[in-house]
């Protein structure tokens, strides 16, 4: 019962922060800014109340999106909140309630003054976030207008489904062979590829029209136009959840700590539905489960009579 991962998955945040306190004590004498950024622990327990807080975003895009939910609560105790984040997220971050300033992350020192700094994934521990802060029931991201958002979907009828099957370099077990996604298409189901950078393999044009874009604001607008997104555990899942869009997320057998090991729902994002791999490395039964739910979804859309 001393596992932080178990506590977080169970939503036992008080226990998770107690475990984190124990780990924090061991970091007290360690230097802050050494080693790979994604492994750095920045906060040393410094007081945040009435301080100019710099929030460093040293993990992935999805991590930043997930933990932006804590910025309003942080701002309630801090004098100001500056978020030093990935440049492609700036248009979203600067619209978050509680963010005083958003600046682009780079390899040098941040070009702003601050009293205390913290990595964004450390914020819930620092503010002792409880269920009401973690389990946000409404969308917390908003989208600015985008010239690229005029890339409207074809008016072809049927259920419009966006697909993402490939992940970045971290934990390739999350990826699904794209050939399996071809099973999801049909006369009543129009598939669209949202795969950033095309992935290792691409679905043929006949199977899915490519509407992918590196512009995250434009991607957010596309998610709003689609009826549904089916994706692996990657940034798109977090973007859809933060925008309140429906997404079905395919998880490998040993999924990341932020997802439950079983069950279809997560307190992080009410609009997501989870599909768990039963056998490590085997996606066929997961895709079959998704297909059956898609068929049921299409049937519900048919006009009565």
What's the pLDDT at 39? 87
- In a shared domain, residues 127 and 162: no
- In a shared domain, residues 101 and 215: no
- In a shared domain, residues 116 and 225: no
What's the pLDDT at 10? 92
pLDDT single digits (tens) 166-176: 988 788 999 99
What's the pLDDT at 154? 60
The residue among 288, 273, 281 whose CA lies nearest residue 253 is 281
The residue among 179, 195, 264 whose CA lies nearest residue 232 is 195
Q: What is the domain range of residue 227? A: 153-301
Question: In which residue are the tokens 């975003």 written?
Answer: 57
The residue among 65, 103, 61 whose CA lies nearest residue 81 is 103
Backbone angles phi, psi at 157, to 5 degrees: 75, 175
- In a shared domain, residues 162 and 296: yes
User: How many independent structural domains does the chain possess?
Assistant: 2
Burial 112-126 (b: 16+ CB within 10 A, else e): eebebbbbbbbbbbb
- In a shared domain, residues 88 and 201: no
pLDDT single digits (tens) 38-58: 889 999 999 999 999 999 999
What's the pLDDT at 30? 80
Six token digits for residue 158: 């049927």
What's the pLDDT at 175? 94
Give the chain's residues under pLDDT 50.
1, 199-200
């Amino acid at each position: 019962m001393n596992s932080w991962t178990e506590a977080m998955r169970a939503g036992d945040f008080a226990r998770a922060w107690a475990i984190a306190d124990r780990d924090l004590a061991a970091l007290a004498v360690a230097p802050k800014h050494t080693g790979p950024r994604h492994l750095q622990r920045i906060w040393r327990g410094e007081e945040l109340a009435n301080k100019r807080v710099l929030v460093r975003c040293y993990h992935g895009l999805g991590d930043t999106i997930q933990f932006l939910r804590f910025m309003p609560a942080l701002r309630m105790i801090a004098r100001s909140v500056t978020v030093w984040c990935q440049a492609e997220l700036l248009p979203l971050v600067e619209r978050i309630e509680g963010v005083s300033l958003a600046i682009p992350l780079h390899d040098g020192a941040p070009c702003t003054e601050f009293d205390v700094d913290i990595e964004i994934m450390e914020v819930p521990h620092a503010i002792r976030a409880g269920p009401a802060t973690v389990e946000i029931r409404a969308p917390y991201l908003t989208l600015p207008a985008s010239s690229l958002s005029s890339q409207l979907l074809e008016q072809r009828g049927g259920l419009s489904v966006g697909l993402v099957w490939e992940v970045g370099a971290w934990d390739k077990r999350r990826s699904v062979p794209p050939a399996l996604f071809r099973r999801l298409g049909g006369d009543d189901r129009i598939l669209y590829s949202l795969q950033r950078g095309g992935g290792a393999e691409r679905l043929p044009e006949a199977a899915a029209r490519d509407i992918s874009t590196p512009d995250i604001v434009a991607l957010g607008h596309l998610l709003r136009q689609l009826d549904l997104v089916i994706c692996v555990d990657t940034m798109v899942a977090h973007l859809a959840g933060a925008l309140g869009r429906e997404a079905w997320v395919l998880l490998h057998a040993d999924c990341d700590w932020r997802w439950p090991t079983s069950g279809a729902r997560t307190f992080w994002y009410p609009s997501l539905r989870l599909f768990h791999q039963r056998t490590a490395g085997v996606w066929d039964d997961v895709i079959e489960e998704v297909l059956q739910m898609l068929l049921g979804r299409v049937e519900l859309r048919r006009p009565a009579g």
